[in-house]
Amino acid sequence: MLNLKHFPTAVPPRPMGSYAHIILLRETDSYALFQTDGELNTARVRAGQQASDPLTRLTIFKRKQTTPERLVGRELLRRYEIISGEAHDDKAKALVDKAGRPICDYNVRFCMQCPDCVTYGFAIGDSGSEKSKVFSDTAYSITAYESSHEAFTLNAPYESGTMSREGVVTSRINEQDHVRPQTLFPSIITTRDLTSPLFMYVLNNVLRTRRYGAQTTRTGTMTNHLVAIVLADGEVSSNLRLTQALYDSLKKQGAIVPAQPIDPQTALSELSDLLPNLLDERGGANISQMLRGKGLADFLADLDMHKSEAGTREMIEAASRDSKAYYSAYIYNDKKGKK
Ligand SMILES: [Zn+2]
Protein backbone atom coordinates (compact mmCIF):
# COMPACT_ATOMS: atom_id res chain seq x y z
CA MET A 1 0.00 0.00 0.00
CA LEU A 2 1.04 3.58 -0.52
CA ASN A 3 2.67 5.07 2.55
CA LEU A 4 0.34 8.01 3.19
CA LYS A 5 2.52 9.18 6.10
CA HIS A 6 4.97 10.47 3.47
CA PHE A 7 2.55 13.25 2.53
CA PRO A 8 2.25 16.38 4.69
CA THR A 9 -1.08 16.84 6.50
CA ALA A 10 -1.32 20.43 5.21
CA VAL A 11 0.28 22.07 2.15
CA PRO A 12 3.23 24.06 3.55
CA PRO A 13 3.93 27.69 2.51
CA ARG A 14 7.52 26.92 1.50
CA PRO A 15 8.96 23.86 -0.32
CA MET A 16 9.46 21.01 2.15
CA GLY A 17 10.89 18.30 -0.10
CA SER A 18 8.02 15.84 0.01
CA TYR A 19 7.99 14.44 -3.52
CA ALA A 20 5.71 11.89 -5.15
CA HIS A 21 6.44 10.76 -8.70
CA ILE A 22 3.86 9.20 -10.99
CA ILE A 23 5.69 7.10 -13.59
CA LEU A 24 3.68 6.51 -16.74
CA LEU A 25 3.87 4.93 -20.11
CA ARG A 26 1.60 6.99 -22.36
CA GLU A 27 0.27 5.04 -25.34
CA THR A 28 -1.60 6.57 -28.28
CA ASP A 29 -4.80 4.64 -29.02
CA SER A 30 -5.58 6.47 -32.23
CA TYR A 31 -3.97 8.97 -34.59
CA ALA A 32 -2.82 11.90 -32.48
CA LEU A 33 -1.58 15.39 -33.25
CA PHE A 34 1.07 17.01 -31.07
CA GLN A 35 2.05 19.96 -33.16
CA THR A 36 3.04 23.59 -33.44
CA ASP A 37 2.30 25.57 -36.60
CA GLY A 38 0.97 22.51 -38.42
CA GLU A 39 4.08 20.37 -37.89
CA LEU A 40 4.47 17.51 -35.45
CA ASN A 41 6.88 18.34 -32.63
CA THR A 42 10.14 16.42 -32.77
CA ALA A 43 13.58 16.47 -31.19
CA ARG A 44 16.87 15.01 -32.37
CA VAL A 45 18.52 13.26 -29.44
CA ARG A 46 20.76 10.30 -28.63
CA ALA A 47 18.88 7.01 -29.13
CA GLY A 48 19.85 5.42 -25.82
CA GLN A 49 22.21 5.86 -22.95
CA GLN A 50 24.27 3.04 -24.41
CA ALA A 51 23.12 3.28 -28.04
CA SER A 52 24.91 6.45 -29.13
CA ASP A 53 23.42 6.97 -32.60
CA PRO A 54 21.16 10.02 -32.95
CA LEU A 55 17.42 9.57 -33.34
CA THR A 56 14.61 11.97 -34.23
CA ARG A 57 11.83 11.44 -31.70
CA LEU A 58 8.26 12.70 -31.53
CA THR A 59 7.71 14.94 -28.51
CA ILE A 60 4.73 15.99 -26.39
CA PHE A 61 5.33 19.32 -24.73
CA LYS A 62 4.56 19.77 -21.06
CA ARG A 63 1.43 21.89 -21.57
CA LYS A 64 -0.03 19.36 -23.99
CA GLN A 65 0.16 16.81 -21.18
CA THR A 66 -1.00 18.86 -18.19
CA THR A 67 -3.74 20.99 -19.75
CA PRO A 68 -6.07 18.09 -20.67
CA GLU A 69 -5.44 16.55 -17.22
CA ARG A 70 -6.33 19.82 -15.49
CA LEU A 71 -9.49 20.14 -17.53
CA VAL A 72 -10.63 16.62 -16.62
CA GLY A 73 -10.16 17.47 -12.94
CA ARG A 74 -12.02 20.75 -13.29
CA GLU A 75 -14.93 18.96 -14.93
CA LEU A 76 -15.17 16.77 -11.82
CA LEU A 77 -14.93 19.81 -9.53
CA ARG A 78 -18.01 21.20 -11.27
CA ARG A 79 -19.81 17.86 -11.26
CA TYR A 80 -19.30 17.45 -7.52
CA GLU A 81 -20.17 21.11 -6.92
CA ILE A 82 -16.84 22.29 -5.54
CA ILE A 83 -16.68 25.13 -8.07
CA SER A 84 -19.48 26.87 -9.92
CA GLY A 85 -20.52 25.96 -13.44
CA GLU A 86 -20.79 29.68 -14.20
CA ALA A 87 -18.21 31.75 -16.01
CA HIS A 88 -16.81 35.01 -14.69
CA ASP A 89 -19.01 37.96 -15.55
CA ASP A 90 -17.03 41.18 -16.02
CA LYS A 91 -19.99 43.32 -15.04
CA ALA A 92 -21.25 41.45 -12.02
CA LYS A 93 -17.73 40.69 -10.73
CA ALA A 94 -19.21 38.06 -8.38
CA LEU A 95 -16.69 35.75 -6.69
CA VAL A 96 -19.30 33.10 -5.90
CA ASP A 97 -22.53 31.97 -7.54
CA LYS A 98 -25.99 31.96 -5.95
CA ALA A 99 -25.28 28.65 -4.21
CA GLY A 100 -22.09 30.09 -2.73
CA ARG A 101 -19.72 28.05 -4.89
CA PRO A 102 -16.56 29.86 -6.03
CA ILE A 103 -16.55 30.88 -9.69
CA CYS A 104 -13.28 29.58 -11.13
CA ASP A 105 -12.86 30.62 -14.75
CA TYR A 106 -9.82 28.92 -16.29
CA ASN A 107 -7.21 31.42 -17.50
CA VAL A 108 -9.80 34.19 -17.08
CA ARG A 109 -10.17 34.49 -13.34
CA PHE A 110 -8.98 31.67 -11.12
CA CYS A 111 -10.72 31.20 -7.75
CA MET A 112 -7.33 30.52 -6.05
CA GLN A 113 -8.90 28.06 -3.58
CA CYS A 114 -10.03 24.94 -5.45
CA PRO A 115 -7.84 21.82 -5.78
CA ASP A 116 -7.00 22.79 -9.37
CA CYS A 117 -5.78 26.29 -8.49
CA VAL A 118 -3.71 25.15 -5.52
CA THR A 119 -2.11 22.06 -7.13
CA TYR A 120 -1.43 23.23 -10.70
CA GLY A 121 -1.01 26.92 -9.87
CA PHE A 122 -2.26 30.08 -11.51
CA ALA A 123 -1.25 33.58 -12.48
CA ILE A 124 -3.69 36.47 -12.41
CA GLY A 125 -2.04 39.57 -13.79
CA ASP A 126 -0.70 41.60 -10.88
CA SER A 127 -3.26 40.33 -8.39
CA GLY A 128 -1.36 37.20 -7.50
CA SER A 129 0.06 33.90 -8.58
CA GLU A 130 0.61 30.46 -7.18
CA LYS A 131 3.43 28.22 -8.36
CA SER A 132 2.48 24.82 -9.65
CA LYS A 133 3.11 21.91 -7.30
CA VAL A 134 2.82 19.51 -10.24
CA PHE A 135 5.87 19.30 -12.49
CA SER A 136 6.16 17.61 -15.83
CA ASP A 137 8.45 17.81 -18.81
CA THR A 138 8.49 17.13 -22.55
CA ALA A 139 7.87 13.45 -23.27
CA TYR A 140 9.74 11.59 -26.04
CA SER A 141 8.60 8.66 -28.16
CA ILE A 142 10.67 5.50 -27.70
CA THR A 143 10.63 4.85 -31.44
CA ALA A 144 11.87 7.10 -34.23
CA TYR A 145 9.75 9.83 -35.81
CA GLU A 146 10.14 8.17 -39.24
CA SER A 147 8.38 4.98 -38.15
CA SER A 148 5.96 6.61 -35.68
CA HIS A 149 4.04 8.98 -37.91
CA GLU A 150 1.87 8.80 -40.97
CA ALA A 151 0.91 11.49 -43.47
CA PHE A 152 -2.79 11.70 -44.27
CA THR A 153 -4.27 13.49 -47.18
CA LEU A 154 -7.51 15.01 -46.02
CA ASN A 155 -9.60 15.96 -48.99
CA ALA A 156 -12.96 17.57 -49.32
CA PRO A 157 -14.53 16.27 -52.54
CA TYR A 158 -17.45 17.81 -54.41
CA GLU A 159 -20.93 16.37 -53.87
CA SER A 160 -20.41 14.05 -56.81
CA GLY A 161 -17.54 12.45 -54.89
CA THR A 162 -14.93 13.63 -57.34
CA MET A 163 -12.09 16.02 -56.75
CA SER A 164 -12.63 17.96 -59.95
CA ARG A 165 -15.44 19.97 -61.52
CA GLU A 166 -15.57 21.15 -65.10
CA GLY A 167 -12.01 19.96 -65.52
CA VAL A 168 -10.63 21.97 -62.60
CA VAL A 169 -9.18 20.04 -59.64
CA THR A 170 -10.15 21.34 -56.20
CA SER A 171 -7.44 22.80 -54.03
CA ARG A 172 -9.23 21.50 -50.97
CA ILE A 173 -6.58 18.89 -50.30
CA ASN A 174 -4.66 19.05 -47.09
CA GLU A 175 -1.77 16.92 -45.99
CA GLN A 176 -1.31 16.38 -42.28
CA ASP A 177 1.14 14.24 -40.32
CA HIS A 178 -0.32 12.20 -37.45
CA VAL A 179 1.30 10.21 -34.63
CA ARG A 180 0.57 6.52 -35.17
CA PRO A 181 -1.48 4.44 -32.71
CA GLN A 182 0.57 2.44 -30.18
CA THR A 183 3.36 4.98 -30.06
CA LEU A 184 4.81 4.97 -26.53
CA PHE A 185 5.95 7.95 -24.47
CA PRO A 186 7.48 7.31 -21.00
CA SER A 187 6.59 10.20 -18.72
CA ILE A 188 7.15 11.26 -15.11
CA ILE A 189 4.72 13.57 -13.31
CA THR A 190 6.16 14.96 -10.10
CA THR A 191 4.16 16.47 -7.26
CA ARG A 192 5.73 18.37 -4.38
CA ASP A 193 4.32 18.95 -0.91
CA LEU A 194 0.76 17.91 -1.69
CA THR A 195 -1.39 16.35 1.00
CA SER A 196 -2.49 12.80 0.22
CA PRO A 197 -6.01 13.88 -0.93
CA LEU A 198 -4.50 16.48 -3.30
CA PHE A 199 -2.06 13.86 -4.61
CA MET A 200 -5.00 11.50 -5.21
CA TYR A 201 -6.75 14.31 -7.07
CA VAL A 202 -3.77 14.64 -9.46
CA LEU A 203 -3.46 10.85 -9.83
CA ASN A 204 -7.16 10.55 -10.63
CA ASN A 205 -6.86 13.21 -13.34
CA VAL A 206 -3.95 11.37 -14.94
CA LEU A 207 -5.73 8.02 -14.91
CA ARG A 208 -8.96 9.45 -16.33
CA THR A 209 -7.65 11.65 -19.12
CA ARG A 210 -8.08 10.10 -22.57
CA ARG A 211 -7.82 12.93 -25.07
CA TYR A 212 -4.62 14.80 -25.75
CA GLY A 213 -3.35 17.07 -28.49
CA ALA A 214 -5.19 18.87 -31.24
CA GLN A 215 -8.49 17.11 -31.48
CA THR A 216 -11.13 16.10 -33.86
CA THR A 217 -13.81 13.68 -32.78
CA ARG A 218 -11.91 10.73 -34.14
CA THR A 219 -8.34 11.30 -33.05
CA GLY A 220 -6.20 11.99 -30.06
CA THR A 221 -7.09 9.23 -27.63
CA MET A 222 -4.40 7.92 -25.35
CA THR A 223 -4.06 5.50 -22.44
CA ASN A 224 -1.88 6.37 -19.47
CA HIS A 225 -0.46 3.11 -18.11
CA LEU A 226 0.60 3.63 -14.51
CA VAL A 227 3.97 1.93 -13.99
CA ALA A 228 4.92 3.12 -10.51
CA ILE A 229 4.39 5.66 -7.75
CA VAL A 230 7.69 6.69 -6.21
CA LEU A 231 7.94 8.59 -2.91
CA ALA A 232 11.21 10.45 -2.38
CA ASP A 233 12.89 13.52 -0.87
CA GLY A 234 13.81 14.99 -4.27
CA GLU A 235 13.59 14.76 -8.03
CA VAL A 236 14.34 11.49 -9.80
CA SER A 237 15.17 10.77 -13.43
CA SER A 238 14.05 12.82 -16.45
CA ASN A 239 11.70 11.74 -19.22
CA LEU A 240 14.55 11.68 -21.73
CA ARG A 241 16.81 9.49 -19.57
CA LEU A 242 13.91 7.17 -18.86
CA THR A 243 13.13 6.90 -22.58
CA GLN A 244 16.76 6.26 -23.49
CA ALA A 245 17.22 3.62 -20.81
CA LEU A 246 14.05 1.86 -21.93
CA TYR A 247 15.19 2.04 -25.56
CA ASP A 248 18.49 0.34 -24.62
CA SER A 249 16.85 -2.51 -22.76
CA LEU A 250 14.15 -3.08 -25.40
CA LYS A 251 16.82 -3.09 -28.08
CA LYS A 252 18.84 -5.67 -26.17
CA GLN A 253 15.74 -7.88 -26.17
CA GLY A 254 15.21 -7.42 -29.89
CA ALA A 255 11.89 -5.71 -29.16
CA ILE A 256 12.67 -2.71 -31.36
CA VAL A 257 12.02 -3.55 -34.98
CA PRO A 258 12.07 -0.58 -37.36
CA ALA A 259 8.65 0.22 -38.85
CA GLN A 260 6.91 -1.99 -36.26
CA PRO A 261 5.17 -0.74 -33.12
CA ILE A 262 6.68 -1.89 -29.82
CA ASP A 263 4.51 -4.32 -27.89
CA PRO A 264 3.12 -2.18 -25.03
CA GLN A 265 3.12 -5.08 -22.53
CA THR A 266 6.81 -5.77 -23.20
CA ALA A 267 7.62 -2.07 -22.74
CA LEU A 268 5.57 -1.89 -19.54
CA SER A 269 7.24 -4.81 -17.81
CA GLU A 270 10.68 -3.71 -19.00
CA LEU A 271 10.12 -0.18 -17.67
CA SER A 272 8.98 -1.49 -14.31
CA ASP A 273 12.04 -3.76 -14.10
CA LEU A 274 14.58 -1.07 -14.85
CA LEU A 275 13.17 1.56 -12.45
CA PRO A 276 15.03 0.46 -9.28
CA ASN A 277 18.44 0.72 -10.96
CA LEU A 278 17.60 3.83 -12.92
CA LEU A 279 16.18 5.82 -10.01
CA ASP A 280 18.68 4.72 -7.42
CA GLU A 281 21.44 6.97 -8.71
CA ARG A 282 24.34 7.73 -6.46
CA GLY A 283 23.99 11.27 -5.13
CA GLY A 284 20.34 11.34 -6.15
CA ALA A 285 17.19 11.59 -4.07
CA ASN A 286 16.47 9.09 -1.30
CA ILE A 287 13.57 6.89 -2.25
CA SER A 288 11.33 5.87 0.62
CA GLN A 289 8.85 3.83 -1.41
CA MET A 290 8.55 2.49 -4.95
CA LEU A 291 5.09 1.04 -5.47
CA ARG A 292 4.86 -1.05 -8.66
CA GLY A 293 3.79 -4.44 -9.96
CA LYS A 294 1.32 -6.33 -7.79
CA GLY A 295 1.55 -3.85 -4.91
CA LEU A 296 0.50 -1.05 -7.24
CA ALA A 297 -2.30 -3.10 -8.81
CA ASP A 298 -3.66 -3.95 -5.34
CA PHE A 299 -3.47 -0.31 -4.28
CA LEU A 300 -5.40 0.85 -7.36
CA ALA A 301 -8.01 -1.90 -7.06
CA ASP A 302 -8.65 -0.87 -3.48
CA LEU A 303 -9.22 2.84 -4.13
CA ASP A 304 -12.76 4.00 -3.32
CA MET A 305 -12.51 6.73 -5.95
CA HIS A 306 -12.38 4.00 -8.61
CA LYS A 307 -15.33 2.08 -7.21
CA SER A 308 -18.20 4.55 -7.15
CA GLU A 309 -19.32 8.14 -7.50
CA ALA A 310 -19.53 8.32 -3.71
CA GLY A 311 -15.84 7.36 -3.53
CA THR A 312 -14.90 10.00 -6.09
CA ARG A 313 -16.95 12.64 -4.28
CA GLU A 314 -15.23 11.79 -1.00
CA MET A 315 -11.78 12.18 -2.59
CA ILE A 316 -12.74 15.48 -4.27
CA GLU A 317 -14.21 16.88 -1.06
CA ALA A 318 -11.12 15.95 0.96
CA ALA A 319 -8.88 17.58 -1.68
CA SER A 320 -11.07 20.67 -1.58
CA ARG A 321 -10.82 20.95 2.22
CA ASP A 322 -7.02 20.89 1.91
CA SER A 323 -6.88 23.45 -0.91
CA LYS A 324 -9.23 25.78 0.99
CA ALA A 325 -7.12 25.48 4.14
CA TYR A 326 -4.05 26.50 2.13
CA TYR A 327 -5.96 29.41 0.59
CA SER A 328 -7.13 30.67 3.99
CA ALA A 329 -3.69 30.37 5.55
CA TYR A 330 -1.42 31.69 2.79
CA ILE A 331 -3.26 33.18 -0.17
CA TYR A 332 -6.22 35.14 1.20
CA ASN A 333 -4.15 36.84 3.90
CA ASP A 334 -1.21 37.68 1.69
CA LYS A 335 -3.09 39.17 -1.20
CA LYS A 336 -5.80 41.08 0.59
CA GLY A 337 -3.86 42.09 3.67
CA LYS A 338 -6.89 41.32 5.80
CA LYS A 339 -8.99 38.45 6.90
ZN1 LIG B 1 -9.92 27.45 -8.81
CA 140/CA 187 separation, integer angstroms: 8
**For the chain, domain boundaries:** 4-58+135-151+174-196+211-336
Q: Coil, strand or helix: which one is 284?
A: coil
Ligand 1 centroid – CA 45 distance (Å): 38
CA 142/CA 232 separation, integer angstroms: 26
Lowest mean pLDDT among 55-64, 131-140, 154-163: 154-163
Ligand 1 centroid – CA 168 distance (Å): 54
- Identify the residue with better confidence: 330 or 218: 330
143-158: average pLDDT: 84
Ligand 1 centroid – CA 320 distance (Å): 10
**Does the pLDDT at position 65 exceed 70?**
yes
**Does the pLDDT at position 225 exceed 80?**
yes
pLDDT at 338: 45
CA 186 to centroid of chain Cα atoms: 11
27-32: average pLDDT: 93
Using CA of residue 96, residue 119, residue 225, residue 143, what is the dihedral sign?
positive
Half-sphere exposure of 182 (CA within 13 A, CB side): 10
Ligand 1 centroid – CA 102 distance (Å): 8
User: Distance of CA 183 to CAs 23, 91, 139, 264, 269, Å?
Assistant: 17, 47, 12, 9, 16
**Does the pLDDT at position 217 exceed 60?**
no
Ligand 1 centroid – CA 112 distance (Å): 5
pLDDT at 218: 61
Per-residue pLDDT tens over the stretch 38-56? 889 999 999 999 999 999 9
Per-residue pLDDT tens over the stretch 164-185? 777 777 666 677 888 999 999 9
Ligand 1 centroid – CA 106 distance (Å): 8
Lowest mean pLDDT among 90-94, 103-107, 184-188: 90-94
Ligand 1 centroid – CA 117 distance (Å): 4
When pLDDT is cut at 50, 70 and 90, the band that residue 339 belongs to is very low
Half-sphere exposure of 46 (CA within 13 A, CB side): 12
Q: Give phi and psi for 56, each to the nearest 5.
A: -90, 120
User: Distance of CA 83 to CAs 78, 176, 271, Å?
Assistant: 5, 39, 38
The model carries a pTM of: 0.92
Per-residue pLDDT tens over the stretch 249-300? 999 999 999 889 999 999 999 999 999 999 887 778 999 999 999 999 999 9
Ligand 1 centroid – CA 115 distance (Å): 7
CA dihedral 44, 49, 52, 57 (to 10 degrees): -20
Ligand 1 centroid – CA 34 distance (Å): 27
**Does the pLDDT at position 187 exceed 70?**
yes
Ligand 1 centroid – CA 279 distance (Å): 34
Ligand 1 centroid – CA 103 distance (Å): 8
